[in-house]
């Protein structure tokens, strides 16, 4: 009788579908700074398979070397401005240079990456029914007239300036995300990332934290641009990755600010780097770049309430971790 009959043995396919929640995850820009830390975290979960698509413009295979050859990992040389055919459940779409030096180097390419690249990843998400997360930026607030910035602020952005390829590009990318969501029912997530720092940043990429740390280690003057009274808020990369994963896994589309609300003037940052890394180093004033935002600090009420997220690592604790990584790569050990 049926009560004593053994249940049918599930086929391997059925078994994997019903008893494991395996996820195949695409990370565009996964060879970059934030992307490679995100990959490390995703790979820690044995149920995840990770595919990275990157054109190595600012990223490098070196950042992923511990995963190359791993059975759950795949690395594809691919430019997101070209269509991509893969079968995935989730897409973390990070591909885009983030440092002003690199995004201004070929501004037309930057806007293509933001617009065509995001369009392609949305087309992919639509075809395979994947959830997609965009790493947008605090730059969508431009030179903000509201302080701190919350997600309802529409921003103060110059549409024709030298930073526009990046900040207007990200604004269009956000628009595309919401239009695919409304028009095609795609599941979207938008993170507005504020300045992030940590190990693996390009040593010479020109961003302020990497500049000051490299300069202090090399005993070169710390270059404070303009008066040094402009402010930024710096988030350590492990906190950032934690916020991105919570946003992807949660129920909210965003946009949600992810950043550390601790606000510093660039002069304070230089003084902190000097004190922690090299008390002998000089601090000098140099000319600033055009359209530099005067102030920036996230309001993270939404991230706290909707994601249960807030950053844990203070600037004074994060800088030494980055110093250690830079010293190793620059081959300048600490003297004491």
Q: Where are the beta strands (DSSP E) in the chain?
A: 23-28, 48-54, 73-77, 90-93, 131-137, 188-193, 196-197, 222-225, 231-233, 235-236, 256-258, 263-265, 283-286
Contacts with ligand UDP in 66-125 (CB under 6 A)?
83-85, 100, 119-120, 123-124
Q: Which two tokens stand for residue 333?
A: 């050990």
Q: Which is nearer to ligand UDP, 189 or 207 (CB)?
A: 207
State the nearest-atom distance from the C-beta of 316 to ligand UDP, in Å: 18
State the nearest-atom distance from the C-beta of 275 to ligand NAD, in Å: 23
Q: Which is nearer to ligand UDP, 246 or 295 (CB)?
A: 295
State the nearest-atom distance from the C-beta of 95 to ligand NAD, in Å: 4
Q: Which is nearer to ligand UDP, 285 or 320 (CB)?
A: 285
Q: 48-54 and 73-77 as β-strands: parallel, antiparallel, unpaired?
A: parallel
Q: Is 287 in the site for ligand UDP (CB under 6 A)?
A: no
DSSP secondary structure, 7-55, as one string: PPPPPHHHHHHHH---EEEEEETTTSHHHHHHHHHHHHSTTEEEEEEE-
Contacts with ligand NAD in 91-120 (CB under 6 A)?
94-98, 113, 117
DSSP secondary structure, 154-190, as one string: --B--TTSTTHHHHHHHHHHHHHHHHHHHHH---EEE
Q: Which is nearer to ligand NAD, 24 or 61 (CB)?
A: 61
Q: Is 166 an active-site residue?
A: yes
Q: Which two tokens stand for residue 5?
A: 């009959």
Is residue 236 within 8 Å of 197, Cβ to Cβ? yes
Q: Which is nearer to ligand NAD, 38 or 224 (CB)?
A: 38
How many other C-beta atoms can be found within 10 angstroms of the C-beta atom of residue 186? 19
Q: Which is nearer to ligand UDP, 275 or 292 (CB)?
A: 292
The item of ligand UDP, ligand NAD, none sharing an interface with residue 31, based on CB under 5 to 8 Å by kind, is ligand NAD
State the nearest-atom distance from the C-beta of 288 to ligand NAD, in Å: 18
Helix axis angle for 33-44 and 237-249, nearest 10°, is 60
Q: Which is nearer to ligand UDP, 157 or 266 (CB)?
A: 266
Binding residue for ligand UDP, selected from 203, 288, 301, 321, defined by CB under 6 A: 288
Is residue 192 within 8 Å of 257, Cβ to Cβ? yes
Residue from 92, 103, 141, 166 carrying the catalytic annotation: 166
Q: Which two tokens stand for residue 46?
A: 């044995």
Q: How many residues in the shown chain lie near ligand NAD by CB under 6 A?
A: 28
Q: How many residues in the shown chain lie near ligand UDP by CB under 6 A?
A: 23
Q: Which two tokens stand for residue 194?
A: 């504020």
User: Using CB under 6 A as the criterion, what x/- string covers residues 206-225 for binding ligand UDP?
Assistant: -xx--x-----------xxx
Angstrom CA distances, 13 to 17, 23, 297, 306, stand at: 6, 14, 48, 36
User: Using CB under 6 A as the criterion, what x/- string covers residues 35-54 for binding ligand NAD?
Assistant: x------------------x
Q: Is 230 in the site for ligand UDP (CB under 6 A)?
A: yes
* 3 state DSSP class of 264: strand
Binding residue for ligand NAD, selected from 32, 144, 298, 318, defined by CB under 6 A: 32
Helix axis angle for 164-184 and 107-128, nearest 10°, is 20
State the nearest-atom distance from the C-beta of 98 to ligand NAD, in Å: 3
Q: Which residues contact 39 (CB under 8 A, 6 or more apart)?
A: 27, 30, 50, 52, 64, 67, 73
DSSP state of 231: E
Binding site for ligand NAD (CB under 6 A): 28-29, 31-35, 54-59, 79-81, 94-98, 113, 117, 135, 137, 193, 195-196
Active site amino acids: 166
Binding site for ligand UDP (CB under 6 A): 83-85, 100, 119-120, 123-124, 126-127, 195, 207-208, 211, 223-225, 230, 232, 266, 288-289, 292
């Amino acid at each position: 009788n049926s009560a004593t009959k053994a249940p049918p043995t599930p086929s391997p396919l059925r078994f994997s579908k019903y008893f494991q929640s395996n996820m195949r995850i695409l990370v565009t820009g996964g060879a970059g700074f934030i992307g490679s830390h995100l990959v490390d975290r995703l790979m820690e979960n044995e149920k995840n398979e990770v595919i990275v698509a990157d054109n190595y413009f600012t990223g490098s295979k070196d950042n992923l070397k511990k995963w190359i050859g791993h059975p759950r990992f795949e690395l594809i040389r691919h430019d997101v401005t070209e269509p991509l055919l893969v079968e995935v459940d989730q897409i973390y779409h990070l591909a885009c240079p983030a440092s002003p030096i690199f995004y201004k180097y070929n501004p037309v390419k930057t806007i293509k990456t933001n617009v065509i690249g995001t369009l392609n990843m949305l087309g992919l998400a639509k075809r395979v029914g994947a959830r997609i997360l965009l790493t947008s930026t605090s730059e969508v607030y431009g030179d903000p007239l509201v302080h701190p910035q919350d997600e309802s602020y529409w921003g103060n952005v110059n549409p024709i300036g030298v930073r526009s390829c990046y900040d207007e590009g990200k604004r269009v990318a956000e628009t595309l995300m919401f239009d695919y969501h409304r028009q095609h029912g795609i599941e979207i997530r938008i993170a507005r990332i504020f300045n992030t720092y940590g190990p693996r940043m390009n040593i010479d990429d020109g961003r302020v934290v990497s500049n000051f740390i490299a300069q202090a280690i090399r005993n070169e003057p710390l270059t404070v641009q303009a008066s040094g009274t402009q402010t930024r808020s710096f988030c350590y990369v492990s906190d950032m990755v934690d916020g991105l994963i919570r946003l992807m896994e949660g129920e909210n589309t965003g946009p949600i600010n992810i950043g550390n609300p601790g606000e510093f003037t660039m002069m304070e940052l230089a003084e902190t780097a000097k004190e922690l890394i090299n008390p002998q180093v000089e601090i000098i004033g140099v000319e600033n770049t055009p359209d530099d935002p005067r102030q920036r600090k996230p309001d993270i009420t939404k991230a706290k309430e909707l994601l249960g997220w807030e950053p844990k690592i203070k600037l004074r604790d994060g800088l030494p971790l980055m110093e250690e990584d830079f010293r190793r790569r620059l081959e300048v050990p600490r003297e004491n």
